[in-house]
Amino acid sequence: MVSRKHTLRLWAFIILVLVTAGVYTNERARHQKVVRVTQQMFVEEPIPKQDEQPIFVDVTSDQHPIEPELNAKPVTEIKPSVSAKPKPVVRTCPATDPDAPDLTLFPISPTLGIGRARPSELVSIPTMFSLSGGFFCLNQVARDSFQEMARAAERDGVLLIVVSAYRSAAHQGQLQANNEPDEHDHASVAAPGHSEHQLGTTIDLTSGTVSVYTFHRFAESAEYAWLVQNAADYGFVQSYRPGDEDLTGYIAEPWHWRYIGVDHAKKLADQNIPLVTYLTNLALETEDSSNGDEQ
């Protein structure tokens, strides 16, 4: 006869197993959703040349599958290989220029470029925030601010996923070669030396919760609505808004966000003008005041 105490314990155990299985299934479903979203998008971006990609050192490349042979020796005679151990893949950000000036507030545009300048430093974005675990880099301040923003977004139930960040001039040239301007001659891809991505402060984002909300449809996502409300608190602004196309020279890009610091991001929101206009005014004011000092 099973006692009442034992029966209660048995039920408690069954409930614990069911709850654990439920939590695991939920976590797994969420993870699979993000993976599904991230695998479906941005496949059209060309792969940069070897020397311009983040450096992927595949230390496992000395391993080859063992070809089956008819006269193969018994498995027991194969000595264990040292190289059979899984080794980590080392990934590092592209080359930087430690002497480069800070270009965080540079009014880069189709007519004002930075040549082949590189940022003075680059650090990687944790792959948990990126598309398909992709490897992307930003300067330290922009990277840290993005992480803070992405965590705040997640607390509010939206997932900001990075699909692009720093791009060198050479990488940009390859992207541009594969793109055509729209019927009004508004570009969707900047020329090398003219892309905000070359500053190391700019990210392209997609929705981690709804897979169809890519590129222009990102504007329909909860992630975009969250960014419009909150991004300035973390120093990020939308560079190319709808309605500004003739002024910026670019199509509206809801997915494209640039870090300019919290103070400037909030001032820009107050002024409600295109970013390039704000930064040009700022550069002119700075030039005026420095000329004034010299007189």
Interface with Zn ion (CB under 5 A)? 204, 256
Q: Position of tokens 């490349």?
A: 61
Q: Which is nearer to Zn ion, 171 or 256 (CB)?
A: 256
CA 225 to chain centre: 18
User: Would you put residue 155 in left (φ > 0), alpha (ψ -120 to 50) or beta?
Assistant: alpha
Cα(40)–Cα(211) distance, rounded to whole angstroms? 7
For the record, the structure tokens of 276 come out as 């390039």
Numbers of helices and strands, H then E, in the chain: 7, 8
Give me the least distance between CB of 240 and Zn ion, in Å please: 9
Q: Which is nearer to Zn ion, 149 or 288 (CB)?
A: 149
Give me the least distance between CB of 20 and Zn ion, in Å please: 42
Q: Which is nearer to Zn ion, 143 or 256 (CB)?
A: 256
The SS3 assignment for 288 reads helix
Q: Which is nearer to Zn ion, 234 or 250 (CB)?
A: 250
Q: Which is nearer to Zn ion, 33 or 110 (CB)?
A: 110
Helices (H), 178-274: 222-230, 245-248, 262-271
Q: Which residue is nearest to Zn ion (CB)?
A: 256
Give me the least distance between CB of 100 and Zn ion, in Å please: 20
- Helix, strand, coil % in the chain, rounded to nearest 5: 45, 10, 45
Q: Which is nearer to Zn ion, 204 or 245 (CB)?
A: 204
Q: Which is nearer to Zn ion, 86 or 259 (CB)?
A: 259
CA 96 to chain centre: 18
Give me the least distance between CB of 197 and Zn ion, in Å please: 6
Cα(225)–Cα(27) distance, rounded to whole angstroms? 25
Cα(58)–Cα(209) distance, rounded to whole angstroms? 32
